[in-house]
Amino acid sequence: MIAVDTRPNNKHYLNTASANNLVLMGPAGSGKGTQAKLLSEKYTIPHISAGVIFREIRKEDTDLGRKVRELIDRGNLVPDNITNEIILRRINEPDCEKGFILDGYPRNTSQAEFLENHKTIKKCILIEVSDKECVRRISARRICSECRADYNIIYLKPKQEGVCDVCGGKLIMRDDDKPEAIMKRLRIYHEITEPLIGFYEKKGILLRINGEQPIQKVFEDIVRGLESGRPIL
């Protein structure tokens, strides 16, 4: 496990007396989820993952749960109107009063415009990683077929190849982590999500980060970018 210092820095410019709303962007495999968790620990604001929210809703035996499950199982994206309302409800919860870190939302300019009508975004952090590197990282992911523990044969190897450290179950590759599925996700990102780069760049709030570095270095670059120059008030 890589040790990353996420301790709050009293000298940082993020003003926790008011909302500090951040958006994390990057293709699948860019490590934005990892960085979001680290930033959440450092700045004590919640990490909100659209993917996690939808996976939880998918389990529910409700009209919404069944609708989301049907869409995801067919490989389709959840429509903007449903996505927007779910995310808006979450970011209006009390723990988001001082800010939040959005991971996986917005995914297109329509969603970004909706978000802008309800919340002010202070920075959009873009973690840049090549398609080739994304495929390499994601295709190394494994999951236990029994307890669902996560592994990565590059970064987080099991003690015994193909066997879960926790329960001894067989490690498998999820269908959406196979190269053909990854390339489909990357195509969607380039076609639908990449235009957001221009959207946030025009607003002067885009922070570009080289994601093909060690986790610690990526984190340090993000923090430096957030805390240098004009304060985020």
Full set of structural domains in the chain with CATH:
20-130+188-227 (3.40.50.300)
Answer yes or no: are the C-beta atoms of 31 and 129 closer than 8 Å. yes
Angle at 216 between CA 212 and CA 218, to 5 degrees: 40
Its pTM stands at 0.81
Answer yes or no: are the C-beta atoms of 139 and 177 closer than 8 Å. yes
Enumerate the active-site residues: 32, 107, 141, 174, 185
Q: Residue 184's closest CA among 75, 100, 56?
A: 75
pLDDT at position 13 over 60? no
**Mean pLDDT of all residues in 26-38:** 93
- Model confidence at 177, pLDDT cuts 50, 70, 90, reads confident
- Model confidence at 14, pLDDT cuts 50, 70, 90, reads low
Cα 15 from Cα 47, distance rounded (Å): 17
State residue 117's pLDDT score: 95
Between β-strands 99-103 and 123-128, what pairing exists: parallel, antiparallel or unpaired? Answer: unpaired
pLDDT at position 18 over 50? no
Cα 5 from Cα 37, distance rounded (Å): 12
Assigned token pair, 124? 């959009």
**Mean pLDDT of all residues in 193-210:** 94
